[in-house]
A = this chain, B = another copy of it.
């Protein structure tokens, strides 16, 4: 936990709820028939008026229609939004002009039903690639969702699910000298309606009053330590979207001096949601935190952490409970991060396995015992003497991952 603490004292506590825990938001998830199963497949999140909003999106060169439209709307609105409309069951990616027109129709229907401008609507989709989204179904879904909006947002977390094991939501109460505000969010990821791509979607609301530029800065900072620090299989979807809206309804105003408090609140929610995605990763049985220290700088540390987190040999060793420090050393060595074997340290669950070129094989069986836990900590000091550090999270690689992703889609 690397939250900076401002001079103003504050405290954070988890509370019940998710996307509507912050005042000034309503939400609903409804079934619009996009999923053949009849499960909830449209989620709508609405503020009482256009409010400051920020988004971060997939870096894949292939971007789904809703990603393109949401990006454009945030630019034209100067970082404001009143609604987020999401469908699961169809990614609307690689669907050409027709797919783009469907996304525009979705936005138009949402804006019309709420009486706001289309550029104040953000939009996201998740599901199978290369299939057209039914315009009739999504437009009808928008209308049902508007009718179902409530301060109890429990269905919203379900409407964005694909094969997630369960809904993911989290909320916190942030007490500051200037008053109390709330941050809440929902997420989906690492499961798929059909085995195409593991889209990551997350939406976060707060009732703090935050200028758009500060909200975007905080969202990017927090993303680097949470959603961008997790991996299930190193894949990057065409639809990944994270958006935050700030209603201001709490009356607590965030400025430069209280910015660290906003970051702390956002990070508490984002970290919990991000780790829930990893824990629910396809075939995952364990959550693994990879802590890197002794790197030249934080970027190098994250490079090593991500290489280890994506290594199939490390992920299978963790799955099998094998305290295989050689794989951690080898992954560090090929990561591109500066690595000095002679001064490196490897620990699994606080058990020392390698230090200064020397294996500690007598500790292997104790480390193997730690690897039976569902939450595992791995620590590698890269031995450069630098102060760079980073943490990444991953899950183990199981035969179940292969089964889920190897089944024929049709």
Q: Give the interface of A toward B (CB within 8 A).
A: 59-62, 93-94, 96, 128-130, 195-198, 233-238, 311-313, 316-317, 319-322, 324-327, 329-334, 338-339, 341, 354, 357-359, 361, 364-365, 368, 397-399, 401-403, 405-410
Residues on B with beta carbons closer than 8 Å to the beta carbon of A324:
195-196, 409
- Determine whether the beta carbon of A94 is less than 8 Å from that of B407: no
Give which listed residue, B333, B359, B407, B409, contacts A238 with CB less than 8 A. B333
**B329 adjacent to A62 (CB under 8 Å):** yes
- A–B pairs, 11, beta carbons within 8 Å: A59-B334, A129-B326, A234-B312, A235-B313, A235-B331, A237-B330, A317-B405, A319-B402, A319-B406, A398-B402, A401-B402
Contact between chains at B332 and A62 (CB < 8 Å): yes
Residue pair B235, A330 in contact (C-beta under 8 Å): yes
- Decide if A195 touches B330 in the complex (CB within 8 Å): no
CB of A233 within 8 A of CB of B312, answer yes
Q: How many copies altogether?
A: 2
A60 neighbours in B (Cβ, 8 Å)? 330, 333-334
Name the distance in Å between A97's Cβ and chain B's nearest Cβ.
8
Q: Which residue of B lies closest to A402 (CB)?
A: B399
Q: Is the pair B235, A128 in contact by a Cβ cutoff of 8 Å?
A: no
Q: Are B361 and A326 in contact, with the CB atoms below 8 A?
A: no
Please tell me if the beta carbons of A317 and B235 are within 8 angstroms of each other in the complex: no
CA distance A339 to B402 in the complex (A): 28
Q: Is the CB of B238 within 8 A of A62?
A: no
Q: Which residue of B lies closest to A405 (CB)?
A: B316
Q: How far is the CB of A333 from chain B (nearest CB, A)?
A: 3
A341→B99 CA distance, assembly (Å) = 14
Q: B330 contacts A129, CB within 8 Å?
A: yes
Q: Known: A93-B326, A408-B321. Is A341-B62 also a contact (CB below 8 A)?
A: yes
